[in-house]
Amino acid sequence: MQKETKNKSSYNKENKLSPSSKIMTNPIDRSGLVAQINILGSGMSSVNEPHNSLIHHMDKAYGIVDYAGFIKETNKIVKHNNNLRDCLNGFHNLFVNYLNCAYTALGIINEKSNTIDIKLLDKNSSVYSNKVFMNDSQNEIIKALETDDITIINNSEFLKIPSLANLPCIIIPIKFKGKNICVGLASDYNVQHHISLYQLAANQLGLIVQNSSLYEKVSQSSNLDSLTNLYSHRRFHELLSDEMNYAQTNNQKLSVMILDINDMSQINRDYGHSKGDEVIKTVANKINTNIKKHDIAARYGGDKISVILKNMNAEEAKYMAEYLTYSLSCCLVDDIGPINKVAVGIATYPDDSKDKEKLLILAEQAVLVSKTKGYKNGRSTIVSTQDFDFWDDTALNSFAAVMAKRHSQLGINFEEALVDQFQNENILSKNHLIEVVTSLAGAIDAKDKYTKDHSSSVSRYSVALAKAINLPEKEVERIKLGALLHDIGKIGIPEDVLRKPDKLTDEEFKTIQQHPTIGVQKILEPNPLLQDLIPIVKYHHEQWNGKGYPCGLKGEEIPLAARIVAIADTYHALISDRPYRKGLSVEKACSILEEGAGIQWDKELVRQFISIAPSLATKI
């Protein structure tokens, strides 16, 4: 066979093609769709007519098609498929089963590359890809687009797929608002009988392709940060979840790096926000250019850039960070100079955490530690979570700052996160336990500026009293830890109650009275190493006369260690400043203790404490 001319078909009667090979129409025209539906109506079979085999869909000899079934299936495809690929597969199966097509294809016009990207499926569902250049004026697809016509030709040689070369082809330009957006192709010997069906399908495909294109643009826009053209913060979280799942499945490590450009507020004030934006864009571009191809950079927020380093442990991530910060230090920004003040924090999956939010919290904590450490030799300090002790003051303060910022996002406050860290801490020695307990107590005391260092002071006073009455060293150590944690239950008390400068209401006082029980339940009971401290924490507010809380114990029913801590606790409270009064003198505090001896406190223990009080540290 020879290829047909523009206006003539060389198909013979046996191939069921009429002499006309060129049909003038605009498939995406809505008025055309109404006309097509009217045309289809005249040839419809009953909607309820059964079609359990291909013979019911189409009579190959005469091109009779189950129009109602075709339309019904078309609607199903559009309604139930959520993406372009599934829709195309649905239309392919529809054309094969109803119209006996040998193949179907869709070509999407790519304006950037000036090409048409074609995906073709044959009757056996084999997939072929092809690319047609828009300047190839001899290609049959380009000819059809230029004439805006449905064009029928008698072979498919132009597709350059040998097995399909001798098959006929219908080419359907598909437009949206007067502009070609794609082109549909199919191979059908009865094409003249099915033109109205192809027009209907073209309408649907045009809308689907346009919607898909718009969705992709909107999605891409929402996935990218407008300033840096890196991934957005939201997309970063999605990608990190995916990459952590991949790392888990493939038993790999993954590191998260956060880079914080320092002095940005100063730059914005001195040179304007446009200069600040220039710095951020420069940093983003340099990072994106220098990371590995498969790694992912994103704008984490403000002046922070985050990077997902795939299959990298902490040491490898630090090496990459050194390379990036060196590259940045070589960048010169007009008026600013080199970008050499960048804080860098790194956290690694699964070594630091298997939880995404925890991993990010640790990376942010490492950034703040990096900022605190400053710069060495004019270079950024790079900090991994494995480089510092969580319970170090700097690290703990950094953690508190991160949690304060993230509380509204995660619903987790600093104290809750701190307890979780404490319960998961791997205690290596008794000294380590003391250090961790001291840091935990100090962090809780920090909730109220008037009780700063309260727990450590009470611990020191309790140890002094325990030694004064010649308790064994092991018991002294237990009292030391118990006193450090005596107020740990305040972790569950609202700050507005703890910090209230006025007299507490009865309801508020009942809330405060819960803190010994809260401390035992949340901190001590879950930790086997702290079980023997429970009597100290739970009963240090019991009174000698039985009027204390939470259990109303009296006299020697109250454990000795708890009685010791009770006196030390009261003494430090008396000599400390409060919102409503200045701290009392040692003499006045001791006289108050003496007045309550035998009523509120153990009389003999009060006597011993008063004798050593002047030698204790000066008033806090």
Q: How far is CA 498 from the centre of its chain?
A: 34
- Give the closest residue to 620 by CA, choosing from 433, 444, 400, 459: 459
Residue 44 predicted with pLDDT over 50: no
Contact by Cβ (8 Å): 227, 281: yes
State the pLDDT at residue 113: 81
More confident site: 574 or 177: 574
Helix (H, G, I), strand (E, B) or coil at 43: coil
State the pLDDT at residue 442: 72
Structure tokens that stand for 75 in this block: 């609607």
**Local confidence band at 413 (pLDDT 50, 70, 90 cut-offs):** low
**Domains plus CATH for the chain?**
13-221 (3.30.450.40), 224-409 (3.30.70.270), 413-620 (1.10.3210.10)
Neighbours of 13 (CB within 10 A): 7
**Local confidence band at 579 (pLDDT 50, 70, 90 cut-offs):** low
Mean of pLDDT values over 231-252: 92
Give dist(CA 145, CA 496) in Å, integer: 72
- Give the closest residue to 94 by CA, choosing from 113, 69, 114: 69
Residue 227 predicted with pLDDT over 70: yes
Phi, then psi, of 184 in degrees rounded to 5: -105, 145
pLDDT tens sequence across 80-118: 776 777 888 888 999 999 999 999 999 888 887 889 989
Q: What totals of helices (H) and strands (E) does the chain contain, helices first?
A: 23, 18
End-to-end CA, the chain: 104
Three-class DSSP labels, 285-311: HHHHHHCCCCCEEEEEECCEEEEEEEC
Contact by Cβ (8 Å): 523, 498: no
Phi, then psi, of 599 in degrees rounded to 5: -110, -60
pLDDT tens sequence across 383-405: 999 888 776 777 777 777 776 66
Structure tokens that stand for 96 in this block: 């094969």
State the pLDDT at residue 177: 80
State the pLDDT at residue 45: 31
Mean of pLDDT values over 250-258: 95
Three-class DSSP labels, 421-441: HHHCCCCCCHHHHHHHHHHHH
Contact by Cβ (8 Å): 243, 310: yes
- Give the closest residue to 115 by CA, choosing from 107, 127, 103, 105: 107
Quick one: angle between helices 195-223 and 84-99, nearest 10?
Answer: 170
More confident site: 50 or 523: 523
Give dist(CA 180, CA 106) in Å, integer: 13
Q: Which residues pair with 515 in a beta bridge?
A: none
State the pLDDT at residue 404: 63
Residue 349 predicted with pLDDT over 90: yes
Helix (H, G, I), strand (E, B) or coil at 376: strand
Mean pLDDT of the chain: 80
Cβ contacts of 369 within 8 Å, gap of 6 or more:
345, 383, 387, 388, 394, 395, 398
Quick one: angle between helices 586-596 and 560-575, nearest 10?
Answer: 140
Contact by Cβ (8 Å): 571, 593: yes
Vertex 497: Cα angle to 494 and 498 (nearest 5): 85
Give dist(CA 462, CA 119) in Å, integer: 80
Give dist(CA 203, CA 71) in Å, integer: 12
Residue 524 predicted with pLDDT over 80: yes
Residue 19 predicted with pLDDT over 80: no
Task: Cite the beta strand spans of 334-407 per DSSP E.
Answer: 337-338, 342-349, 375-376, 379-380, 382-384
Q: Which region among 55-69, 175-189, 336-350, 544-558 has the lowest average model confidence (pLDDT)?
A: 55-69
Mean of pLDDT values over 153-160: 92
Contact by Cβ (8 Å): 560, 608: no
Give dist(CA 217, CA 546) in Å, integer: 73
